[in-house]
Amino acid sequence: DQQVKQNSPSLSVQEGRISILNCDYTNSMFDYFLWYKKYPAEGPTFLISISSIKDKNEDGRFTVFLNKSAKHLSLHIVPSQPGDSAVYFCAASSGGTTSGSRLTFGEGTQLTVNP
């Protein structure tokens, strides 16, 4: 049962353009969502997160949008840079001190930014 899905295994964009990475989830208990970036042979690097009480969160070039009714979130990177080329993982948590910090990850999307 894949509770978090990233349907695009890969995405290719030109430098300077917008990159949009998508993620869908099925578990209504998820209330916190995160995006991580991962290079080969390294651990995931935290990028940005959003709580279910918000629908948008920005941090520099990164913006995450959450549509709770559609159970969909997206990560926008503007402008895209070649150094952004990596695998991006969407993750979700039902959070809270009683249930722990268990993150459920999507399969990842390989982003390639071409110079």
Partner 1 sequence: KAGVTQTPRYLIKTRGQQVTLSCSPISGHRSVSWYQQTPGQGLQFLFEYFSETQRNKGNFPGRFSGRQFSNSRSEMNVSTLELGDSALYLCASSLWAGGNEQFFGPGTRLTVL
Considering the rule CB under 8 A, would residue 104 count as an interface residue with partner 1? yes
Least separation in angstroms between residue 71's CB and partner 1 is: 18
Give, as one character, the DSSP assignment of residue 83. G
In whole angstroms, the minimum distance from the beta carbon of 67 to partner 1 comes to 19
Stretch that binds partner 1, among 14-22, 41-49, 63-71, 77-85 (CB under 8 A): 41-49
User: Using alpha carbons only, what angle is made at residue 79 by residues 103 and 51, rounded to the nearest 5 degrees?
Assistant: 30
**Residue 34 CB partners (closer than 8 Å, separation 6+):** 46, 47, 48, 49, 50, 90, 91, 92, 93, 103
What phi, psi does 53 have (nearest 5°)? -85, -5
Q: Does 100 bind partner 1 (CB under 8 A)?
A: yes
**Binding flag, residue 62, partner 1 (CB under 8 A):** no
Closest CB to partner 1 among residues 53, 115: 53
